[in-house]
Amino acid sequence: MDKQQKMMKYDINFLEYPDWIVNTKKVILTWHVHKEYGRYEMRSTLGLPRHFDKLVFYFLLYKLHEVSFVTSVLKTSRYEIAKNVFPYEKDFGKNRYSRIMQSLKKWQDLSIEFEGLFFEHDEYTQRYFSLIDEVILKKKSGELSIRFNDSYIAQIKKTDFYLFIDFEQYKRLKKASSARLYEILCKNFKERKEWAIQIQLLAEKLTFEKRKGATNYYPSDVLCYLRPAVQEINEKTNLHIKLVYKEDTHVCVFKNLPKQRKYVPAVVDKKELKKREAMATKQKARCLEKFKTLSGDEQQRILDDIARQPFLAYLPERNDRIYAYMHNKRGLYD
């Protein structure tokens, strides 16, 4: 990748069960997943975090990871956050800073509940917790202090159920569906090269909305987001994914293929090309002059030998055939 990696340790539970949702037309206050052996729910009175909010959160976690999570309090500034989550902008006005603070308010307000689904040390546990406890902005100095939940940071430090996310790769993904799918695939390709899932279950993991009044997801609605998401992931991250959708079973099969290298076509140097052509013309002229100085018998021997060479028969001009032959035998005719 062209930029320095910004790796951070992340608990896989939060890739399997999302702590944000893809962008929707309306504000979503709760999201839950029910399974036979438990349930997962996240809640926020301000609306659940979305794609931009997750970018902010990942950057903050990366900053804590830089100091090995020795503290749960991060000192930063709105400018530093903006510089990393708005990489193509140079100046950040009031609106950008307000958006960052609104994002932090959402994370502070978010509460998460696991009942039997949180995997830890070869068993599942029940948990209720938050991620950020406090945000303090000093208006005069601009210093921003963010205190993460101690238990949450302790869990990241000690967990054996984790992987590393590269913030620089993640923020390249502009589509929310791409970013969420990338999280899911990173988790599922941690120790395997192929993963299959029923499309209804995948849509739930992706936090997609159902059509109004529908009890299930329409496969066509899911696929219209999946295929562009796979394409963007392949173009912008270190994953190279092939998606196969089986219509008879409604199963999506994802294959993690070796990343294909991009070959940049050689740039033709016109001056160098003309120089080579001129040199070839001079060599050809020298060979033909040398041919004319040979005896008639030697010239005929060369012409007879040329007639027996199949690769020379494709050259249309007699002089070209003589040049190719003598150039190949240049040790004899130099």
pLDDT single digits (tens) 131-179: 999 999 999 999 999 999 999 999 898 888 899 999 999 999 999 999 9
**CA dist., res. 262 & res. 187, Å (int):** 26
Q: What residues make up the domain containing 275?
A: 270-333
201 and 311 housed in the same domain: no
Q: HSE on the CB side for 96, CA within 13 Å?
A: 18
pLDDT-based confidence at residue 2 (cuts at 50, 70, 90): very low
Among the three residues 171, 206, 226, which one is the final residue of a domain in this structure? 171
Instruction: Judge if 140 and 48 occupy the same domain.
Output: yes
Q: Which one of 242, 263, 284 terminates a domain?
A: 263
Q: Is 37 helix (H, G, I), strand (E, B) or coil?
A: coil
Check pLDDT > 90 for residue 255: yes
Regarding whether 138 and 18 lie in a shared domain, the answer is yes
Q: Give the confidence band of 265 by pLDDT, cuts at 50, 70, 90.
A: low
* Total of domains in the chain: 3
Last residue of a domain, one of 263, 283, 307: 263
Q: Is 79 exposed, middle or buried (0-12, 13-18, 19+ CB in 10 A)?
A: middle
Cβ-based burial of 24 (10 A; exposed 0-12, middle 13-18, buried ≥19) = middle
Residues 167 and 183 in one domain: no
Residues 110 and 89 in one domain: yes
Looking at the fold, whether 139 and 186 belong to one and the same domain comes out as no
Coil, strand or helix at 102: helix
Do residues 155 and 188 both lie within one domain? no
> In this predicted model, what pLDDT tens digit does every residue of 123-135 receive, in sequence order?
788 888 899 999 9
DSSP state of 310: G
Provide the pLDDT for residue 56. 97
pLDDT in tens, 284-323: 888 888 888 888 888 888 888 877 776 566 566 788 778 7
pLDDT digits (tens, 9 = 90+) for 42-54: 999 999 999 999 9
Q: Which two tokens stand for residue 262?
A: 């991009």
pLDDT per residue as tens digits for the range 228-254: 999 999 999 999 999 999 999 999 999
pTM for this prediction: 0.74
Residues 209 and 290 placed together within one structural domain of the fold: no
Residues 6+ apart with CB under 8 A from 320: 284
Whether residue 133 sits in one domain with residue 3: yes
Token duo for residue 253: 């099969």
301 and 243 within one domain = no
Q: Are residues 150 and 108 in the same domain?
A: yes
Same domain, 163 and 15: yes
CATH code at 222? 1.10.10.10
